[in-house]
Structure 1
Amino acid sequence: MLTWHIEALNLKLKYTWKIARNASNEKLNFLVQVSDGTFSGFGEAAPNIRYGETPDLLLQQYQVLLMAGLAHMKSMEDLLQLLQEHPPVNALRFAIESAYLHYFCQHKGIAVHQLLGQPAPGPQATCYSLPIMEAGQVQAFMQAHNLGRFRSLKVKVNQEQGLDLVQEVLRTTSASVVIDGNESWQTPDDLITFLHALDASRVLFVEQPMPASHAAAYAHIKESSPIPLVADESVTDMADFELLRNEFHGINIKLMKAGGYLNAVRLLKEARKHGMMVMLGCMVETSLGIWSAMQLSGAFDFADLDGFLIVENEPFQLVQEQEGMIYLK
């Protein structure tokens, strides 16, 4: 019989993490462990309120899975069946699936990427994300955190300050820039005005500027946008690629949203089949979550795996960063 354990990870952040819909100075994640007494596997859950994921709900669903027989799983097939019968939120599903898969790979002496059919993870360039701030704070923030070492920067924006903030970042750095609107824009006309005011030679793409519900507006804007659009909140564990390819040029796949390694690989294959660019993203996570994402990183076009870098006193040190490249320890 397997022993499962969950514990809270109270993560203090290095600075206020502000995006279009909220701001925080700390993050509550969870560490999930499974062990047979000899071999162990660990997984991380980073709940996100945007998808209705709260710590209390996550813990309640974990208890439901325990009572439903989580300790008696004898194969990945058994586990997937249990998760289908008692579906948890995606962040918890990923933590449980990844913990079991890590345990299984350790038990069998198989590399995680090999089991997933992915290329071996190597050093990976990542962008670094700037939270929303006043334009006048950009230069000091970039100097304080030595952001000149990154090849690309991601700028979190809202509609009100977005253009001023992006232009200040572009003035301050020669790096390429990605813009993340986190569904801040509400009307297509305002968004088109913003997109045409950007320097298309410096901005790689814009992530999810309008709400996921604005499918028709995205389809209209895609053809006229001077900058590629990438879906984030429009892609969770499910994705209608027949619609998405008409709305966006690419998608952002996050393991926490996908609800597991296996579904993330499925989404990746579907995106490739439909000719879409794929980026690999993350939530605010420890290096355990980033280590997990790196098991797939070799198959993606772009990586945004900086979530562990904004955690003060990151607890696991499974991934290291040097000159904008991240490495498995």
Structure 2
Amino acid sequence: MNRFQIEFLPLDLPLKRRFTISRGSRDEVNNVLVKIHCQGITGIGEAAPNHRYNETQESAMSFLDSFGSYETEYPFDISLLVEKMEKHGDGEFAAKAGLEMALYDWIGKKLNIPLYKLLQAPGRTGPITTYTFGIDKPEVMKEKVEEAGPYPLLKIKLGTEYDKEIIEAIRELTDKPILVDANEGWKTVDQALDMIRFLDKRNVFVIEQPMPAECTREMKEVRLKSTIPLMADESITGKESLQELSSQFHGINIKLMKTGAISTSLKIIHQARKAGLQVMVGCMIESVIADTASALVALWADYADVDGHLLLKENPMEGLEILPQGHIRLRDIPGLGLQ
């Protein structure tokens, strides 16, 4: 029997700049560092809970504390841990993701193999990642364009009364392709379609979550009339019918902190392909630990948005690399690729 000791600590991460989306602002994120120890090997993971899904640093640590240790005869069977976590309690998907992430890292280290090889990924280099701007005044957005100089794709948070002014300010400085994320900020079909018509002429290649997740009927109409691919974010946590989502969106944004597991995310990608949906792998604001796990999943995706660690003042470790052309790449070392 293999007994894994579970260790968890608060991971408070100050941001380089205040980060604002349509639901609020923050200067720091409060995540959880997760470690598992067994046979002299330590696996590392991270939970990045989000208030949008009724999860906090405190609730994540409470889940991990009550979960206790993990004992199994079959440490390489990830499904046994996922099943036990599901039985232990509902919700707390960030905590579950962090723990499964740590076990995956442990397995790779134990077998002395990078996880991208163990999982038979197409390679260790994935899509170009976007670089995200939070909502800000147009003049500040211009400063952010300069900061994003090395990154070829921009992700712009919208959902304000001055969305068009933000885009125009950015377009005065750069013609880089833009992914727009409204974070449920457009409240009516007319508003969403007006913005889509405006953005269609300004080199926007994807729009994430134009309207609130509950607006399923409205989103079907918007999808039919949209000239830009629409990506579900808040509308997908991993439990929804992908066939139903395909009537509202052209693709889905998968985040480990919503699905609760790398293994679950890979299954969802397979199901999304069958449903004819494009796939993006995104992230919360998290350190390079969780972003490296997200980058692993993104090796199977069409788009990547794994830049949360770039928004932090500092990171606790080194992990995924971003190549000069903007592509994500995992390190060729055992486990997740952290050091």
Q: Tell me, yes or no, whether TM beats 0.5.
A: yes
Aligned to 1:22: 24
RMSD: 1.7
Give the Cα–Cα distance (whole angstroms) in 1 for the partners of residues 160 and 205 of structure 2. Answer: 19
Task: Answer yes or no: is the 8 Å Cα contact 2:97–2:260 preserved in 1.
Answer: yes
How has the CA–CA distance of structure 1 residues 78 and 296 changed in structure 2, closer, same or farther, with 3 Å as cutoff?
A: closer
Specify every segment of 5 or more residues in structure 1 that has no aligned partner in the other structure, as ranges: none
Give the Cα–Cα distance (whole angstroms) in 1 for the partners of residues 16 and 73 of structure 2. Answer: 41
Task: Answer yes or no: is the 8 Å Cα contact 2:200–2:228 preserved in 1.
Answer: no
Instruction: Name the SS of the counterpart of 1:275 in structure 2.
Output: coil
Give the Cα–Cα distance (whole angstroms) in 2 for the partners of residues 55 and 64 of structure 1. Answer: 14
Instruction: Name the SS of the counterpart of 2:276 in structure 1.
Output: coil
Give the Cα–Cα distance (whole angstroms) in 2 for the partners of residues 167 and 10 of structure 1. Answer: 35
- Runs (4+) of structure 1 moved beyond 6 Å? none
Q: What is the letter of the counterpart of residue 72 of structure 2? A: M
Aligned to 1:175: 176
Deviates more, 1:101-110 or 1:246-255: 101-110
Aligned to 2:337: none
Residues 50-129 of structure 1 mapped to structure 2, 5 A cutoff: 50-66=52-68, 70-75=69-74, 76-87=78-89, 88-122=91-125, 124-129=127-132
* Matched length: 324
Give the Cα–Cα distance (whole angstroms) in 1 for the partners of residues 256 and 125 of structure 2. Answer: 18
Aligned to 2:136: 133
Residues 254-269 of structure 1 mapped to structure 2, 5 A cutoff: 254-269=255-270
Task: Answer yes or no: is the 8 Å Cα contact 1:231–1:250 preserved in 2.
Answer: yes
Give the Cα–Cα distance (whole angstroms) in 1 for the partners of residues 119 and 99 of structure 2. Answer: 16
Aligned to 1:49: 51
Aligned to 2:336: none
User: CA shift at 1:246, angstroms?
Assistant: 0.5
Specify every segment of 5 or more residues in structure 2 that has no aligned partner in the other structure, as ranges: 332-339
Q: What is the letter of the counterpart of residue 319 of structure 1? A: L
% same residue: 29
How has the CA–CA distance of structure 1 residues 77 and 204 changed in structure 2, closer, same or farther, with 3 Å as cutoff?
A: closer
Instruction: Name the SS of the counterpart of 2:12 in structure 1.
Output: strand
Instruction: Name the SS of the counterpart of 2:43 in structure 1.
Output: strand
Normalised to the residue count of structure 1, the TM-score between the two structures is 0.93
User: CA shift at 1:191, angstroms?
Assistant: 1.2
How has the CA–CA distance of structure 1 residues 97 and 173 changed in structure 2, closer, same or farther, with 3 Å as cutoff?
A: same
Aligned to 2:277: 276
Instruction: Name the SS of the counterpart of 2:125 in structure 1.
Output: coil
Give the Cα–Cα distance (whole angstroms) in 1 for the partners of residues 17 and 79 of structure 2. Answer: 42
Normalised to the residue count of structure 2, the TM-score between the two structures is 0.91
